[in-house]
Amino acid sequence: MGAPFDLNDDSVVVIVGSGAGGGTLGTELALKGIKVVILEAGQRHNMEDFINNEWDSFAQLAWKDMRTTSGSWRVHKNFPNLPAWIVKAVGGSSIHWAGASLRFQEHEFRTRSTYGDLQGANLLDWPVTLAEMEPWYVKAEDKMGVTRTNGIPGLPGNNNFKVFEAGAKKVGYTEVSTGHMAINSQPRHDRGSCQQIGFCFQGCKSGAKWSTLIAEIPVGEDTGNLEVRSECMVLQIEHDASGKVTGVVYADKDGNHQRQKARIVAVAGNSIESPRLLLNSASSMFPDGLANSSGQVGRNYMRHMTGSVYGIFEKPVHMYRGTTMAGVVRDEARFDTKRGFVGGYEMETLSLGLPFMAAFLDPGAWGRSFSTAMDGYANMAGMWLVGEDMPQETNRITLNTDVKDQYGLPVANVHFDDHPNDIAMRNYAYRQGAAMYEAVGATRTMPTPPYPSTHNLGSNRMSEKPRDGVVNKHGQTHDISNLFVSDGSQFTTGGAENPTLTIVALAIRQAEFIAGEMSKKTI
Amino acid sequence: MTTLIDRRSPPRQSPGGPSRRSLLAGIGAAGALMIAGGAIINPREAWGLEVTNLKPETMRTLIVMARDIYPHDRLADQFYAVAMKPYETGSTDPALKQLVEGGVAALDTIAQGEHGVPYAQVGWEDQRVAILHKMEHTAFFEKVRSGLVVGLYNQEEVWPIFGYEGSSADKGGYINRGFNDLAWL
């Protein structure tokens, strides 16, 4: 029997979420002949329907369900109900991501061993190594069509990159290029090449950028083994008396509650919703939430050390033209404590349109300092700083029982404080970014604070020992053998690199593991 | 003359055109923003905005305040007026009307105390900004400021003035339209 599957079919794998983790896992399993139901909270859009307008696109794609925040991070002050800028739609945040696809560095899988015991940081080595991950990175890069791998040429540099590259070379950086991008520089896998549209964050209208919406899910569906149910919000994971999960309860598009039985449940709702679902699934047998015997569900939430630097020049740049993030300097990604911090960071080209620049350049600011910066928009170049932030147990997703969502469930509260290492790295990165632009004639530079989080990581982390985390090296929860986590919330630590490539590599690897265990009948 | 808001009733303008008083009131920061009966008119920019829910003077002050918050000397008053128009249309809600009228009255009280004229007639931007700083933690100021972030900068008509070209996919992207045309480096 092919898709669609019956609610009472308890042989299916149910995946919660259809983004880089869930969409990839579902497709990989379907290709192996395993029956999969993906439940996605958001709507399904065609890529032609994406909108080249920042606010209209935000209304179309963003996860806007109620969330709350706390802590000393500035997002709490400026955007108290928008901790993260992520997507609620089939394809998840793989619609919104910019395409930067960098592998983790070897030492970033073993930060506790490399960085030592850093006060306040809950560092832990991953239970996997780079050597173990390399074959899966190879598969992910091929699947996603990452430039500068598999013989695929790099993307051409846009105006923003030209300024970025010239500045980087002037200050002595050597590892500068248009990056490793999951955006076609030439036609590949039935998808065309980049038309330099810009608006990468608003969903790629040409299909050049990899997303699970256009590049994975249709492949899975063609097998007859994958069913994607959109506008289905999973409310609770259920289990039996033996502690095995048995299925999920979800609200369908009409608000009716449905119960989908399952042999295996994989949670891939991004690092805020995934722990929220585990916590909201508490029962008399698991009073602290599912898979939470360690008490680590929701903890060690990471968002990368981020920030941006914008520079204004005497002459026009038009940074928004073309691929948003095809530009990277990797010289600062290394481990080198002489800079005053552990971990490293990437510098990547970035642009915002005028409406989002107004919202994010310096949230809450007003007056001539702000408006004259905006006057320089056409002459502006921009970069994003993305580095490894320290996991802290107190940076945490919890249930806010005072605030309920449209289904009557407690919303997620996101608490975050920067670690001193994060602040030291950000300040250093601000200076280096400004120096790059000043080296090529910037008359003014602006250190822009972190946006609502796009890289949400770590809140169900991987650990070798069950007491240290939520899942094992395959994303299988330590407590419940047929319950998996399949998104970035598995990350033990964050690395300096954009996380999607690693999420996809882990999902491919996890599909192999799940298929093997199913055939061995261990789950 | 462009009408920024549709007239739902005949203009309440006095038969002889703008009165001497309203013309004199145009002196100061309000510049070309004149009050004529129940409307604000800007003869220089050739537009009018009927104001019925709020006092016309209140809307004029809002427009001046909007420019003082996000001053762009290359932007005509009409863009600030468009951004402030929702306070007129929305002031059928008594709570919003009270917030706005009360906020503007507070601005005027400070301005009268310090300069002997209402806010909109205080001569220098710096002087008005000093008044705004005394108000910046009020709900009124924060509502006007945060509303402007979208209300001003998301007007497609202002984008070309900042050199932003907006939607691109419908034009084939920038692959043949200058994505890498920078030549000054």
Q: What is the DSSP string of A197-246?
A: ---GGG--SSS-B--IIIIIHHHHHHTT-EEEE-S-EEEEEEE-TTS-EE
Q: Which residues contact A198 (CB under 8 A, 6 or more apart)?
A: A52, A320, A321, A322, A323, A324, A351, A353, B168, B173, B174
For B133, the domain range is 54-160
Do A378 and B164 count as a contact with CB atoms less than 8 A apart?
Answer: yes
Chain A contact present for B66, CB below 8 A = no
The residue in chain B having the minimum alpha-carbon distance to the alpha carbon of residue A357 is: B153
Dihedral sign (CA A117, A122, A127, A130): negative
Contacts B185 to A, Cβ<8 Å: 162-163, 166, 440
Q: Which residues contact B138 (CB under 8 A, 6 or more apart)?
A: B103, B106
Question: Is residue B121 in a domain?
Answer: yes
CA distance A167 to A517: 51
Average pLDDT estimate for B160-179: 98
User: Which pLDDT band holds residue B10 (cuts at 50, 70, 90)?
Assistant: very low
3 state SS of A100: strand
Kindly tell me the number of DSSP H helices and DSSP E strands found in chain B: 7, 4
Chain B contact present for A194, CB below 8 A = yes
CA A467 to chain centroid: 25
Q: How close, in Å, is residue B38 to chain A by CA atoms? A: 30
User: Which pLDDT band holds residue B30 (cuts at 50, 70, 90)?
Assistant: confident
Burial of A150-172, coded b for 16+ CB within 10 Å and e otherwise, reads eebeebbbbbbbbbbbbbbeebe
Do A159 and B165 count as a contact with CB atoms less than 8 A apart?
Answer: no
pLDDT value at position B5? 55
Q: What percent of chain B has pLDDT over 70?
A: 84
CB A381 within 8 A of CB A311: yes
Chain B contact present for A158, CB below 8 A = yes
Q: What is the dihedral of CA A341, A332, A194, A207, to 10 degrees?
A: -30
Tens place of pLDDT per residue across chain A (523 aa): 588 999 999 999 999 999 999 999 999 999 999 999 999 999 999 999 999 999 999 999 999 999 999 999 999 999 999 999 999 999 999 999 999 999 999 999 999 999 999 999 999 999 999 999 999 999 999 999 999 999 999 999 999 999 999 999 999 999 999 999 999 999 999 999 999 999 999 999 999 999 999 999 999 999 999 999 999 999 999 999 999 999 999 999 999 999 999 999 999 999 999 999 999 999 999 999 999 999 999 999 999 999 999 999 999 999 999 999 999 999 999 999 999 999 999 999 999 999 999 999 999 999 999 999 999 999 999 999 999 999 999 999 999 999 999 999 999 999 999 999 999 999 999 999 999 999 999 999 999 999 999 999 999 999 999 999 999 999 999 999 999 999 999 999 999 999 999 999 999 999 999 999 999 999 9
Do A199 and B153 count as a contact with CB atoms less than 8 A apart?
Answer: no
Phi first, then psi, for residue B162 (nearest 5°) are -90, -5
Chain B contact present for A322, CB below 8 A = yes
Contacts B175 to A, Cβ<8 Å: 194-196, 322
Say how many domains are in chain B.
1
Question: Is residue B112 in a domain?
Answer: yes
Dihedral sign (CA A386, A460, A483, A106): positive
Do B153 and A357 count as a contact with CB atoms less than 8 A apart?
Answer: yes
> Which of A196, A199, A209, A315 should we substitute to test contact with B (largest number of B Cβ atoms within 10 Å)?
A196
Count how many Cα atoms sit within 13 Å of the Cα of residue A311 in the half-sphere of its side chain: 27
Question: Checking DSSP bridges between strand A396-404 and strand A410-415, what pairing results, if any?
Answer: antiparallel
Average pLDDT estimate for B89-95: 96
CB contact residues (below 8 A), chain B span 123-162, against chain A: 129, 136, 145, 149-150, 152-154, 158-159, 162
Chain A contact present for B185, CB below 8 A = yes
User: Which pLDDT band holds residue B31 (cuts at 50, 70, 90)?
Assistant: confident
- pLDDT surpasses 50 at B12: no
User: Which pLDDT band holds residue B3 (cuts at 50, 70, 90)?
Assistant: low
Chain B contact present for A48, CB below 8 A = no
Question: Is residue B133 in a domain?
Answer: yes
- pLDDT surpasses 60 at B33: yes
CB A346 within 8 A of CB A387: yes
Do A166 and B70 count as a contact with CB atoms less than 8 A apart?
Answer: no
Give the nearest partner residue to B179 out of A196, A316, A366, using CB atoms: A196
Give the nearest partner residue to A162 out of B152, B167, B180, using CB atoms: B180
CB A307 within 8 A of CB A448: yes
- pLDDT surpasses 50 at B21: no
Do A163 and B185 count as a contact with CB atoms less than 8 A apart?
Answer: yes
Beta bridge pairs of residue A404: A410
Question: Is residue B101 in a domain?
Answer: yes
CA distance A506 to B2: 59
CA distance B48 to B42: 6
Beta bridge pairs of residue A13: A36, A264
CB A302 within 8 A of CB A395: yes
CB A13 within 8 A of CB A206: no
Greatest extent of chain B over all pairs of C-alpha atoms, in Å: 61
3 state SS of B181: coil
CB A124 within 8 A of CB A155: no
Contacts A358 to B, Cβ<8 Å: 149-150, 152-154
Chain B contact present for A166, CB below 8 A = yes
Provide the phi-psi class of A495: left if phi over 0, else alpha when psi is between -120 and 50, else beta: left
Q: What is the dihedral of CA A41, A46, A48, A51, to 10 degrees?
A: -10
| ipTM given for this complex | 0.95
What CA–CA distances, in Å, run from A92 to A35, A63, A104, B61?
21, 9, 22, 45
Q: Which residues contact A466 (CB under 8 A, 6 or more apart)?
A: A293, A294, A478, A479
Cβ-based burial of A193 (10 A; exposed 0-12, middle 13-18, buried ≥19): middle
Residues found in chain A? 523
Question: Is residue B45 in a domain?
Answer: no
DSSP A368-401: HHHHHHHHTGGGEEEEEEEEPPPP-TTSEEEEEE
Question: Is residue B28 in a domain?
Answer: no
Do A355 and B166 count as a contact with CB atoms less than 8 A apart?
Answer: no
DSSP code at position A279? H
CA distance B150 to B83: 8
Chain B contact present for A162, CB below 8 A = yes
Chain A contact present for B21, CB below 8 A = no
> Which domains does chain A show, CATH number per domain?
13-519 (3.50.50.60)
Question: Is residue B39 in a domain?
Answer: no
pLDDT value at position A2? 84
What CA–CA distances, in Å, run from B31 to A23, B21, B103, B120?
58, 14, 21, 9
Count how many Cα atoms sit within 13 Å of the Cα of residue B32 in the half-sphere of its side chain: 12
Closest CA to A416 of A79, A12, A137: A79
Q: How close, in Å, is residue B12 to chain A by CA atoms? A: 36
CA distance A87 to A502: 19
Cis bond upstream, residue A80 (ω within 30): no
Measured between its terminal Cα atoms, the distance across chain A in Å is: 21
- pLDDT surpasses 60 at B116: yes
Note if the pTM is more than 0.90: yes
Question: Is residue B1 in a domain?
Answer: no
Contacts B174 to A, Cβ<8 Å: 158, 195-198, 321-322
Closest CA to A461 of A397, A516, A521: A397
